[in-house]
Amino acid sequence: MSEARQAPRHVIGLAEQRATARRNRDFAAADVLRGEIEEAGWLVRDTDDGFELTPKPPFEVWPTVASLPVPAVADRPSGDRATADRPSADRPAGDRAVADRASARAAADRPPPQEAEGGAGHTPGTEEMIASQVLWDSTLAVNRMDEAITGAAETVTHPAAASSTVTVALLVDGRPADVRKCVDALLAYTDARILALDLGDVDGAGVVLHELAAAHPERIRELHVAEPPHWRGGSAGWGAARTKLLFLDESDVHVVMETATVLDGDAITPLVRALDDGAVAAGWRGANPTPDGEEWAEAGPGPVRALYGHLMAVRRTAALEAGGFPERAQYHRHADLEFCLTLPGEKVVVDEGLPVHQERHRAHDDVDPGYRERESRRTYERVLRLLRETRKAPTP
């Protein structure tokens, strides 16, 4: 057994009983015992030599990106359904990425059928991390905010009400200090809603997101899944996670933003204004392909073929009709180019001088170089194919 991390004796006893039930393939009993462990405020994770007990986080955790339920809204493509079903913790559901963008969005947003623990569809390392929903103790929330406030970015008074037309979508994949700085600036300089998806609470970033959401519930909607990001050794892909955020959003304008991007002023309004002027997407930085279609060069301001995902606003309905973000893109690099090439309409880089800067891009710098190059090349090959198809397409 792994170290219990100061779990009470009776909780350790429950975990030992559950381990015995699993060995005997009595998964119904394992379900019940897991529930008792969680009611006691702990999570149990199976390991090679037994199990590990960790304190339960103060927020609801869904098993996978695919299992997050999507509400039915009028402007989503027909056939796309919400679901409120939660997979059983000891009957893990296999993870599924967003299915073929043009024909199977509905299947992508339903969790797969429940499986017996260890059976077909089992996704190692996810079901053990599922947490049931708990109430966040207000005193604890205040204390944690007080502890975390030291070193936080200095901000101005936050707008009291969130915009009904603009949502900034964030993927939280670790680096909690970056998350706090990015969100603080968004709160200070804009009235946009913030929709943030935490992948695996890497380095405690999910806890920081929860603290921010508890302090600003009128502005921030938090979502947490147990599976870590693909680029951090997990199974949550960039394209599938981004598309899920797109489906969960209900605003007219969907803003793609990285947590390494920090506003120095209101950089969102100029992007929205460009959409009002007719663009389908507007961003901070963009690129055009070279004449031979083999390379890309930074371009702008003005119309461009593609926008970078550091900061990009898009008409949400247009993005939905295009099928969302490239589901095969496990990693972000070049996936923004692939998305833009499938998005019909004019893409523009707004005028120079947008009040925004980028911190150290740790999602690039801190990723294993071999992984980074392998996944980037796979996506870039798809980008080149799209460009070739565009060049071959007959002129109307």
DSSP code per residue over 367-379: S-HHHHHHHHHHH
113-126 pLDDT, tens per residue?
333 343 333 333 33
In a domain? residue 201: yes
Tell me if 93 is assigned to some domain: no
CB 288 within 8 A of CB 296: yes
- Pairwise CA distance, residues 199 & 202, whole Å: 7
Q: Does residue 296 sit within a domain?
A: yes
Residue 364 confidence (pLDDT) above 90: no
Instruction: Count other Cβ atoms within 10 Å, centred on residue 26.
Output: 16
Is 97 within the bounds of a domain? no
Range in 3-7, 114-118, 155-159, 360-364 the model is least confident about: 114-118
pLDDT band of 292, cuts 50, 70, 90: confident
Average pLDDT rounded to a whole number, residues 76-87:
36
CB 299: neighbour CB atoms within 10 A?
A: 16
Asked if residue 396 is part of any domain, the answer here is no
58 CA to centre of own chain: 19
Domain that includes residue 30, residue range: 9-55
Asked if the structure places residue 371 within a domain, the reply is: yes
Residue 60 lies in a domain: no
- 37 with 147, same domain? no
**Are the C-beta atoms of 341 and 386 separated by less than 8 Å?**
yes
Q: What is the CATH number of the domain that holds 165?
A: 3.90.550.10
In sequence order, what E strands does the chain have? 42-47, 50-55, 166-172, 193-199, 220-225, 253-257, 261-263, 281-283, 286-289, 296-299, 302-304, 306-307, 311-315, 347-349, 356-358
pLDDT band at residue 268, thresholds of 50, 70 and 90?
Answer: very high
Tell me the H-state helices in 88-155: 105-108, 138-148
pLDDT of 26 reads 95
Bridge partner residues of 43 (DSSP): 54
Between CA 293 and CA 20 the distance in angstroms is: 60
Q: Are residues 154 and 46 in the same domain?
A: no
Higher-pLDDT residue of 98 and 342 is 342
Per-residue pLDDT at 80: 37
- The DSSP output letter for 148 is H
Residue of 118, 70, 119, 71 whose CA lies nearest to 244: 70
Average pLDDT, the chain: 79
State mean pLDDT over 75-95: 37
> pLDDT tens digit string along 203-257?
999 999 999 999 999 999 999 998 999 999 899 999 999 999 999 999 999 999 9
CA 244 to chain centre: 8
Q: Give the pLDDT score at 340.
A: 96
Is 0.75 surpassed by the pTM of this model? no
Predicted confidence band at 72 (pLDDT cuts at 50, 70, 90)? low
Tokens of 197: 């998806």
Q: How many structural domains compose the chain?
A: 2
How many Cα atoms occupy the beta-carbon half-sphere of 365 within 13 Å? 6
Q: Are residues 375 and 328 in contact, defined by beta-carbon separation less than 8 angstroms?
A: no
Predicted pLDDT of residue 111 = 34
Q: Examine the domain organization and report whether 292 and 156 are in the same domain.
A: yes
CB 281 within 8 A of CB 321: no
Q: What is the pLDDT of residues 321-337, one digit of tens each?
A: 999 999 999 999 999 99
Q: Considering only 65-79, 130-144, 309-323, which range has the smallest mean pLDDT?
A: 130-144
Read off the tokens for 3: 């170290």
**Is the domain of 142 the same as that of 50?**
no
Let me know whether 374 and 227 are in one domain: yes
Question: Are 161 and 260 members of one domain?
Answer: yes
| Within-domain flag for 157 | yes
pLDDT tens, residue by residue, 273-291? 999 999 999 999 999 999 8
Cα–Cα distances in Å, from 242 out to 5, 99, 225, 336?
A: 35, 13, 13, 11
Peptide bond into 159 cis (omega under 30): no
| Rounded CA separation 286/299 (Å) | 5
